[in-house]
Each structure stands twice: as C-alpha cells, then as structure tokens.
Amino acid sequence: MSISRRNFLRSCAGGGGALLAVGAQPWAFDPLQVDNPLGEYPNRDWEKVYLDQYQYDDSFTWICAPNDTHMCRLRAFTRNGVILRSEQNYDHDRYGDLYGNQATKAWNPRGCPKGYTMQRRVYGPYRLKGPVLRQGWKNWVDDGCPSLSDNPELRTKYKFDDRGGDSYVRVSWDQVSKYIAEGLHAIAGTYSGPAGAKRLLKDGYEPRMVDMVEGAGTRVFKFGSNLPIHGLVGKFGIYRFANLLALLDHHVRGVPADQARGGRDWSEYTWRGDQAPGQPFVHGLQASDMDFNDMRFSKLVIQVGKNLIENKMPESHWLNECMERGAKLVDIAPEYNGPSSKSNYWIGVRPGLSDLAVLLSVTKIMLDNDWYKPDFCRQFTDFPLLVRTDSLERLRPQDVQADYQLRDISAGPSYKVQGLTDEQRQKIGDFCVWDSDANRVAFLSRDDVGEHMQINAALAGTFLVQLTDGKQVEVMPVLEMYRQHLKDYDEQTVSEMSGAPAELIQRLARDIWETTQAGHPVSIHTGEGINHYFHATLHNRASYLPVMLTGNIGQHGAGSHTWAGNYKGALFQAAPWAGPGVGSYIHEDPFAPVLDENIRITHDHMRHTTDGEEPSYWACGEKTQTVELPNGQTRCFTGKTHMPTPTK
Ligand code: SF4
C-alpha cells in the first residue's frame, strides 16, 4: 500500500492528539532521586580491578642508570616481591651532600617512560639471565686454544669469521670463568715475545702497531666500558681487571713484577664522540658539561643542534621553569623539532656547518656594534694575546727578550689547584699582549687572569714588534684576527650559506647583548662532540665566542655547554688533596693490594700496568692513519700516544 506524505503527517498528528486527550505524557514519569550515584550504583565490582592494580605490599627506591646518564631516582612498588610499576620519587629536595648543600624541590620531577617500564625488561623474555658462550669459541677452547695466526683456516672452523651465524650455549658461572681464564692465558701466550710479534706481523698488522705490544701478549687485550658513573664497581671493574692482567703477564712471560704489563683500556667518553674536542682548545678543561638545574638561572637559552626536550627527558622541565621565570628560548636546528616549537624563535639551518656560520655571524654583528665587554675579554679570555701575522703563531716573550725566564707561578692556582706539572708549564710557556698605556709588548703567565690581569691590553689593531734576531714582525691580538676573519660572515652571506633568515641572525645577536646588558645570564647549549659534528673543534670554539665577548662565563645560568652527564665523573677524579679518586680501585698495584681497611690509599699504592687506547682508529680499519703523500712518501698521522696495538 502506498501512503502519501500528506496522509502520513495527518495520521501522526491524530495519534499525538489522542495521547494528549487521555492526559498521558510520555516524558512525565517520576525522576529517581539519587544523592550519590556511586553509592547507588548496583554493581561496583569493576572498581576492584583498578584498585587491585595499584595495590602493593612494599616499595623501594632505585636509580635508573642507562646510557643517557640522567640517573633518575625512582620508586618501585612490589607485590609478592615482584615489581608492579615504578614512579618518580619526588624527593629530590631531601638530597644533600656532606657539606650540607641541599637540592630544591625544583629538581622534581625526574624520570621518563623508559625508566618507568624498566621492570618489563627485567622480567621480559629477552633478558639474559646467565652466561652463554658462542659455540664455536667454546669448541676452540675445548680443543686447547690452537693459534689462529698459525692456522688461519681454524678461523672458519670455529666460526671466528661467522660469529653472527653461530649459536650460543648456556654454561654455569663456574664454567664461564674457567673458559675465559683459559682463553686469556692462551692468547697472552700466543702473542707474547718474538714469536708473538712474528704471528702478528704474519696476520698483516703494521710493524709500528706490533712494536706497541712491547712483547707482552696481554697488550692485545682491549677493555672498554660504558659510562663509569653508572656504577663505578660494575663499569670500571673491567679497567681494574685490565690492570690485574699484569699478573697473567708475570705468569706467562716469567717477567719480574715491575716489568709485567696489563691490557689496554679503551677510552669510555671521547671515542664515542661525547667529548667536545674543541672545548679543551678554548679553556683547557676536558669539557664544560653542567647540571641542567643551572639553566634555571638563564634568561636566554640558546640550543644549537641540541634537543633538550626529546633527548634529555628528565631535564626538559628546567626549560618550563626558564619560561615561567621570563627567559627567552632560541633554537638553532635544521628541523622544526620539540625545542623549536617551545622557543621564542627557531633559526632553521641547513645540516652541516650552517649553525657554525650563524654563530660566527652573530659574533661579527656583536663586534661591529661594540656589543662586548672589553674588560672581561682582557681579564678572562685569550682575545688580547698577540699572534704573529707572518707565521700565525703566538708571539712568545722569548721572541722579543732573549733572556726571558718563565714566571714563577709554582705557588699560584695553576700548580696548587689545577695540578699543573713542570713539564706542562714548560710546554704552555708565557704569553704576550700589547700594553696600550705603555705602547709596547707586555708579558703575562696563565695565572694572570681576573684581577691579576692589570695590563690595559689592546683588543684591536696591528703592531710592529722587534724580535731578538733584529727582524720586525707584525702582530695582532686574537680579537683583531676574528674581526678580519669574520668579514666574510655578514648576515646576508651567512643567510645564503646556512638558510637562516638574516633578520633572525641579527635578532639573536641583539638578544644576547640586550640580555647581558640587563644583567642577565645567557647560555648556549650544543650537542656533544664528533658524534654530532664533523667539525666539532671549529663548532665548539664558535659557540664560545658570543659568551666570551659578553662575559657570560663563570656565573649561574651562563656559559657554553655540552651535556653528556660526564661532569658527574669529576666526583671521583684524583687530586692532590683528595687522593687517587677512582684510581684507588682501578689501578691498585696488582702485586701489592692493600688489605688493611684502615689504610688511607695514596698514589703510592697505585701502579698503572695498562695504557689508554682510543678505539676510534677502528673507523678506518684496524690500522693507523697513514696516508700516501703526493710526493710518493707515506706519512703516519697516528702519534705514539695514540698508537693502537693489534686486537685479539
Ligand atoms: S631519563 Fe628515563 S631512562 Fe634516563 S635515567 Fe631517567 S628514567 Fe631512566
């Protein structure tokens, strides 16, 4: 049956009218009166599921210590001895040191989802729960560790050339210790003495590397560790073990204890590239690596190729505090990353050397506008030091005064605080500046800084100097050299080079100066070393220039910093007043261990049987950095201090 639209509406109206006529109203049933809906809800069992999930019968605090070095203190909640979850502990304000210094609540919160889920890895199916041996390696030891150098085909038999294709066998702790000992004993024996050297040469190692073995087969063992601060005993224990291998050498070669050699230590910080190599060039310290709580004082935070939000997770809250406290944030990076989205402005640059060019352009703008503090530059930087323009080497006092004797600074801070040695003193020498008042060269030592630097040293111009051999040479302060060098780095040119907008380069230079003028600290945070920058030496210096010019060094919230958390290692460094530091554990004399717990360990108890080695040479194969010169000769750029031994 078909029904028209008109008839349909009419019938609906009729039905409605009928309902109204009998007084029944479909919406008019009595509403329920419920004072507390949760109290009345018929079935609340489901809540128990959630309550149960959060129930615990115990808890403990622990330190999360992966490679990221943040070392967050977390609290784990357990039930029946099993961790259910981990959370921030929110108790940093209760931390203090032996001197009574106390952290603040501002340190909270710390942690990240990786730390909070650590228990999944602890209990997960892929956790290694006991020692395993590669099957082929085990077979090799079971067969008496035959020399692979004498019988290269054995490398295939025992899968030394196909380790990824081999399988693993589970062994007990006692077994694995025995296997390792047998392996070490055999390798040390195989590569000791003239016979060992012959084998290494036959294997194709360069003679200069074989010479570095110095007859001790233990020196073909290499030991590397993760960041030691993650657990000194666990991580640095491997270096102690390397030192102890002098006992093995003593046993294998039969040499007297004082001639016995241990293994070789791979550096744990520099080779991965975390070390900013240009920073020692700037200030003589290994790195300017600070705790991020200091950032809280900054009023201008400049991140250069650094992502403090996504890569330094528990530290990113300091940036929130900077914003709350009125600081400006600036980000220089190729990508519009996390920090960019939180910054006042983002200077987008092309990957490569672009950020370096931006920093140089900023420096040029500051110099062109006299936006710098001359007194700070004179007292605390190398900007006034004179350089010869003929050789581009520093002018030395001996160049202008034949009988010059190095100043006696043996009672000064270089010796007394920084531990300078006589040998280093000779190498570093003294320096020259141009005394603008006396209009002649003046001499100074490395201790003439701050208030001890009273010379009105020139920061601009060129000067003629008479050398002891009668020759006249032109000299100029380092800052003048920058003025000339940076002529190429005007913001338009740098904008073309880097892709950074010229007006933002200009704005950054102005912000640095105006923040400084307002009496506020400026900090620049760069990525780490060569793991972030191919030209890290240049980059590190460039990132220092604006803060050197403006005196943004040595005060809270200021400076140019990398961050690898390595500063924590300084707590365990040796010092004349503190003793051997972590060395008392690593380099305890293997032949005369200190067994009396009441003895204070000193350097006299130490014996280094190991040498450091830089595994970055592996980047070009296990060989030295030797190149053929255009004249047909070869030259080895690997110096004696960095000469590797073959690795077995
Ligand atoms: S940031 Fe995360 S992974 Fe790193 S130490 Fe802290 S909790 Fe652990």
How remote is the CA of residue 597 from the centroid of ligand 1, in Å?
Answer: 35
Provide the pLDDT for residue 11.
56
314 lines ligand 1 (CB under 6 A): yes
The string of pLDDT tens digits covering residues 336-359 is 999 999 999 999 999 888 999 999
Q: Whose CA is nearest to atom 8 of ligand 1?
A: 115
C-alpha to C-alpha distance for 292 and 314, rounded to whole angstroms: 10
Query: Which residues in 422-434 are b (16+ Cβ under 10 Å) and which e?
Result: eeebeeeebbbbb
C-alpha to C-alpha distance for 169 and 20, rounded to whole angstroms: 86
For residues 194-215, give the mean pLDDT: 97
Ligand 1 pocket mutation pick from 72, 119, 227, 292 by most atoms within 8 angstroms of CB: 72
Residue 61 near residue 75 (C-beta atoms within 8 A): yes
Q: DSSP H helical segments within 255-353, as ranges?
A: 278-283, 317-324, 338-342
Provide the pLDDT for residue 21.
45
C-alpha to C-alpha distance for 45 and 25, rounded to whole angstroms: 37
227 lines ligand 1 (CB under 6 A): no
Q: Return the ∠ at Cα 639 (arms to 636 and 644), rounded to 5°.
A: 95
Phi, psi for 526 (deg, rounded to 5):
-110, 165
How remote is the CA of residue 159 from the centroid of ligand 1, in Å?
Answer: 38
Checking 427-431 for CB contacts under 8 A at 24+ apart, the result is 429/396, 429/397, 429/398, 430/396, 430/397, 430/404, 430/406, 431/385, 431/386, 431/394, 431/396, 431/397
For residues 103-113, give the mean pLDDT: 89
pLDDT band at residue 418 under the 50/70/90 scheme? confident
How remote is the CA of residue 114 from the centroid of ligand 1, in Å?
Answer: 6
- Coil, helix or strand at residue 634: strand
229 lines ligand 1 (CB under 6 A): no
pLDDT above 90 for 572: no
How remote is the CA of residue 598 from the centroid of ligand 1, in Å?
Answer: 37
- % of the chain beyond a pLDDT of 70: 95
C-alpha to C-alpha distance for 532 and 272, rounded to whole angstroms: 10
Provide the pLDDT for residue 16.
46
How remote is the CA of residue 534 from the centroid of ligand 1, in Å?
Answer: 28
pLDDT above 90 for 564: no
**Atom of ligand 1 at shortest distance to CA of 63?**
5
**Atom of ligand 1 at shortest distance to CA of 71?**
5
How remote is the CA of residue 254 from the centroid of ligand 1, in Å?
Answer: 48
C-alpha to C-alpha distance for 438 and 636, rounded to whole angstroms: 47
How remote is the CA of residue 87 from the centroid of ligand 1, in Å?
Answer: 11
C-alpha to C-alpha distance for 580 and 482, rounded to whole angstroms: 41
Provide the pLDDT for residue 18.
44
565 lines ligand 1 (CB under 6 A): no
The string of pLDDT tens digits covering residues 434-443 is 999 999 999 9
Provide the pLDDT for residue 172.
97
Helix (H) or strand (E) holding 301: strand 300-304
446 lines ligand 1 (CB under 6 A): no
Provide the pLDDT for residue 553.
96
- Coil, helix or strand at residue 137: helix
- Report helix angle 491-498 to 502-517, nearest 10: 120
How remote is the CA of residue 331 from the centroid of ligand 1, in Å?
Answer: 24
114 lines ligand 1 (CB under 6 A): yes
pLDDT band at residue 607 under the 50/70/90 scheme? very high
Between 226 and 488, name the one with better pLDDT: 488
DSSP per-residue letters across 342-377:
HSSEEEE--TTTHHHHHHHHHHHHHHHTT-S-HHHH
64 lines ligand 1 (CB under 6 A): yes
How remote is the CA of residue 285 from the centroid of ligand 1, in Å?
Answer: 27
The string of pLDDT tens digits covering residues 358-380 is 999 999 999 999 999 999 999 99
Q: Where in the chain is the domain with CATH 3.40.228.10?
A: 278-371+501-565
Provide the pLDDT for residue 4.
62
Residues in the chain: 648
Residue 634 near residue 626 (C-beta atoms within 8 A): yes
Superfamily name with CATH number, domain 278-371+501-565: Dimethylsulfoxide Reductase, domain 2 (3.40.228.10)
**Atom of ligand 1 at shortest distance to CA of 313?**
1
How remote is the CA of residue 118 from the centroid of ligand 1, in Å?
Answer: 9
Instruction: Name the average pLDDT for the chain.
Output: 91
How remote is the CA of residue 70 from the centroid of ligand 1, in Å?
Answer: 6
322 lines ligand 1 (CB under 6 A): no
Q: Nearest CA to 146 among 85, 198, 199?
A: 199
- Coil, helix or strand at residue 304: strand
Provide the pLDDT for residue 2.
52
Provide the pLDDT for residue 15.
46
For residues 428-433, give the mean pLDDT: 97
118 lines ligand 1 (CB under 6 A): no
**Atom of ligand 1 at shortest distance to CA of 312?**
1
Ligand 1 pocket mutation pick from 61, 62, 67, 68 by most atoms within 8 angstroms of CB: 68
How remote is the CA of residue 112 from the centroid of ligand 1, in Å?
Answer: 5
